[in-house]
Structure 1
């Protein structure tokens, strides 16, 4: 059994707490905002109870009450770190805040004599070396980037820094797999990691298609929802290409030159601002006004929960 400290009790932090508890691990929640910390257990109970009623809980040998009993709140971070084996940091996406948090963790872990706990950061674009370099915890620190919400989306990116010991990534990969996650380990550190670099490439071309008057916002999203996404739910773009020909080598021979020729027309990387940003937003507001975003997020999460259950049934 692991003793896990979750630093930050927001949406991602609560999802991490639920994931670790579902696998039978002790979870200690910490947050700098006392009110957020105090309300977290009740919110987690409400979420798990609702998921149980819908048959959407992650597979576990423990019922909801048993999972809840594994989660405790700790207003004192120093005390929470005593005996911890894994720490998951979930502070906002700001380099200075990450750096300050890791400096604090570095100091407190020294004070409590914890020299072995692995520290994961949930940053989605910032290279871990930028906020761990020079700290004594660098060799056991690693970026652990989930996809929101991680309770329903299994991918987690593991990105060691140049100073991370190799065994940290290996051990953490095993732990993530034991939670039912699908970890990938990047062999080198780079901005945006893998998921966001792919996502940004898609967003850049979607921007161009709207900005150049080729498609409306609604039609761009339809291309993804009704064209690419149905296949990508079950297989990645490389396997999709492999299946679209007599293997991947045949695909490259057939389409490689065409892909290169089209890609040459994609022009420079756009800066997403100004009049084009306002026009895309105007069209989005006619489809989904910002005031309806909370309901739409709940709809998204409900569908992701159903999809996660369906993929488990298929053994994917």
Structure 2
């Protein structure tokens, strides 16, 4: 995912459990070298992910016993061959480095901190780090007040686990996992991973948030290639749990296993791609939907607004709980029954699909105008709609967490 250049979304308006007013941003604090803490105060025991390998739910209760008891409940559990956690501020191994302080990087920092991990948030620009820490404080305080903060630790406890760095070596020192979140540019990412390769030890996992760059191109020639993979989140990662794990052809199976376990521990839903493919799984599915949606509008079959309703009030409701393959299985007496009944019709329709659209010209203008009627394309309206979207996603995540699987 492209992250560093992404804007910070405004806090979504949510139904508050306790009565509250939105938390305002904290004043920027001076950044001590090399790392500045995002929170005030210290936790009273070494933090770590949740007990028994349980992923934190979207809205887990805080429990009794105060900060000490909550941190104690987040006792250390090993992640395969991962090394044990260390206390905040310690140079001992066990933390997570997030490289890139844009929207995706900040979301990763929040997720790791929610599970008790010590996080160093790196950006080459100190001002970007300072702004990111201020944004994190505002967002996490708002989430806590509205009852949607993830994990068992409170906002201050989680913030105390996050520090900002503008020195890459310092950020990576002692980390068990590095999550890269710089803009989606192959040359930029390759240069960064070449730097990481020089300073990484033989234990740390080097992971990219790339949405489409192939691991074989990202990690080519690295000495630590067996420790490298892509962990592609869905935007916004704090509210949408899917993470695609895509290995390099030489990635060690243990690297994938450890990353899978880590993603589960921070409340995400990892899926393993058995080999790399252009676009990975999510974007291949997404682009197929977008292409046919575009063709239907371009050919005058349906309006842009009604096309979106086909997904949001039709397929999307079902797919929020079961995928396309299980849908097939349930819509007949099992998968084989579905294929027997409907395969000829599916093949007939699929043969009518047109070429890849250009996504430009008159159709682009038509779709743009239709979208602007619903959401004007100025910064204020777009930000408000994103906030509404994120609030909906949080409530949906809570519902899914509460429902039996």
TM-score norm. by structure 1 comes to 0.96
SS in 2 for 1:239: helix
Structure 1 position 88 matched with structure 2 position 179: yes
| Mapping 1:174-213, distance limit 5 Å | 174-213=261-300
1:229 to 307, 310, 316: 316
SS in 2 for 1:157: strand
2:238 to 147, 151, 168: 151
The residue that corresponds to 2:42 in the other structure is none
Structure 1 position 73 matched with structure 2 position 160: no
Deviation at 1:188, TM superposition (A): 0.8
Structure 1 position 300 matched with structure 2 position 389: yes
Structure 1 residue ranges without an equivalent (≥5) = none
Deviation digits for residues 53-88 of structure 1 (CA, Å, limit 9, x no counterpart): 111112x23111111111111121111211111000
SS in 1 for 2:175: coil
Residues 270 and 251 of structure 1: CA distance in aligned 2, closer, same or farther (over 3 Å): same
SS in 1 for 2:245: strand
Deviation digits for residues 91-128 of structure 1 (CA, Å, limit 9, x no counterpart): 1111111111111111233xxxx222101100001111
Q: Which range is displaced more, 91-100 or 195-204?
A: 91-100
The residue that corresponds to 1:254 in the other structure is 341
Measured in 2, the distance between the counterparts of 1:275 and 1:119 equals 44
1:133 to 220, 227, 230: 220
Q: What is the CA RMSD across the aligned residues, in angstroms?
A: 1.1
SS in 2 for 1:290: coil
Deviation at 1:315, TM superposition (A): 4.4
SS in 1 for 2:270: strand
Structure 1 position 272 matched with structure 2 position 359: yes
Measured in 1, the distance between the counterparts of 2:108 and 2:393 equals 16
Deviation digits for residues 151-196 of structure 1 (CA, Å, limit 9, x no counterpart): 1111100000102111100111011111111100100101110000
SS in 2 for 1:266: coil
Deviation at 1:230, TM superposition (A): 0.9
Structure 2 residue ranges without an equivalent (≥5) = 1-84, 86-93
Higher helix share: 1
Residues 315 and 177 of structure 1: CA distance in aligned 2, closer, same or farther (over 3 Å): farther
The number of residue pairs the alignment matches comes to: 311
The residue that corresponds to 2:189 in the other structure is 98
TM-score norm. by structure 2 comes to 0.75
The residue that corresponds to 1:51 in the other structure is 143
SS in 1 for 2:132: helix
Deviation at 1:282, TM superposition (A): 2.0
Deviation at 1:275, TM superposition (A): 2.3
1:20 to 107, 112, 134: 112
**Greater relative contact order: 1 or 2 (C-alpha under 8 angstroms, separation 6 or more)?**
2
The residue that corresponds to 1:41 in the other structure is 133
